[in-house]
Amino acid sequence: MKKLINKPEDVVKEALAGMAVAHPDLIRVDIEQQIIIRKDAPIQGKVGVISGGGSGHEPMHGGFVGAGMLDAACPGAVFTSPVPDQMLAATKAVNGGVGVLHIVKNYTGDVLNFEMAAELADAEGIKVESVVTNDDVAVQDSLYTAGRRGVGVTVLLEKIVGGLAETKAPLEQVAELARKVNKQGRSMGMALTPCTVPAAGKPTFELGEDEMEIGIGIHGEPGRRRVKLASAAEITEMLATPIIEDLGLKAGDQVLAFVNGMGGTPLIELYIVFDALQRILNGKNIAIARSLVGNYITSLEMAGCSITLLRLDEELFRYWDAPVHTPALRWGR
């Protein structure tokens, strides 16, 4: 196992300590409880927006904490759900008196623990709404999931919903927009290589030298099929077609096109995939109105990519374009 780490059991806490010193202008970090909090939280009269999940997907979610996106994130151990106490502490830390939104990717552990955290928060008088993302068209049910998995749309949703929450919109409206974004976006991913969880010390699965896995999950869960290596154009077609069909995209639609790296793929390759994707969309007269290219929801050092398409409308444009100031996404005033 070749990794820049010290002891496997210290990976998450040391990374959090590094984040705290790297971004003191944006966030504060409770290393003991494993919570990353927006520096100026809680903000009175603003809905708190939090998310969380296993570590190993950086920058998601901790890198998305800051003005205009998340108020807090609670990372678990690598590829392991955070615990309800941690989620409750994050909920309390960002409670500005008007409720808190929980953004939950559809993995059984995350869903159960966030449900318990919401009940605990309710018992303490904090109103919580939960939205579960399930945008992965690859498979129905999976290793850690009943139903579709939550993947790339989560990144876009956290940005857009964070933009609305910043306007001090009420909790119901923030939750409603979150459900809408989840409904208007779909994703699919693939892997060229596996990844190694530090505590395990060996790859989560194996892939032959001439093989790739289409429809892979972000923890290496099995996808649709294992096939021979193909060109970037062919791979992009295999990912984009099911997304376009499932979303029912048609000529004249405007989308946000998101090409995401799994962690070990160089940026130059992601732009090649983006080029292949724009050719496909162009051919169908679907307009790329916004884009995101880079490593945003990763699987440690896995080589591969995922594609997410999000159908845009006026409301989504407005909150996607709104200012954001986080370690990993930053624009606007």
| Contact mark string toward a second copy, 243..272, x via CB under 8 A | --------------x-----xxxxxxxxxx
Contact between 15 and a second copy (CB under 8 A)?
yes
Q: Report the C-alpha gap between 287 and 276 in whole angstroms.
A: 14
Contact between 55 and a second copy (CB under 8 A)?
yes
Which among 137, 110, 299, 135 has a CA at the least distance from the CA of 223? 137
Contact between 23 and a second copy (CB under 8 A)?
yes
User: Could you give the count of Cα atoms lying within 13 Å of 201 in the half-sphere of its Cβ?
Assistant: 4
CB of 238 to a second copy, least distance (A): 12
> With respect to a second copy, which residue has the nearer C-beta, 170 or 323?
323
Q: Report the C-alpha gap between 63 and 19 in whole angstroms.
A: 9
- The catalytically annotated residue of 23, 61, 102, 219 is 219
Contact between 6 and a second copy (CB under 8 A)?
yes
CB of 161 to a second copy, least distance (A): 21
CB 56 within 8 A of CB 300: yes
| Residue 23 known to be catalytic | no
First vs last C-alpha separation in the chain: 42
Q: Report the C-alpha gap between 110 and 168 in whole angstroms.
A: 27
Indicate left, alpha or beta for 68 from its phi (over 0: left) and psi (-120 to 50: alpha).
Answer: left
Indicate left, alpha or beta for 193 from its phi (over 0: left) and psi (-120 to 50: alpha).
Answer: beta
| Residue 102 known to be catalytic | no
Contact between 273 and a second copy (CB under 8 A)?
yes
Contact between 38 and a second copy (CB under 8 A)?
no
Which among 84, 66, 257 has a CA at the least distance from the CA of 165? 66
> With respect to a second copy, which residue has the nearer C-beta, 111 or 197?
197
Contact between 79 and a second copy (CB under 8 A)?
no
Positions that interact with a second copy (CB under 8 A): 2-6, 11-12, 14-19, 21-23, 55-56, 58-59, 63, 78, 192-193, 209, 212, 229, 231-233, 235, 257, 263-276, 278, 288, 291, 293, 295, 298, 300-301, 303-305, 325, 327, 330-333
Task: List residues with catalytic annotation.
Answer: 57, 219
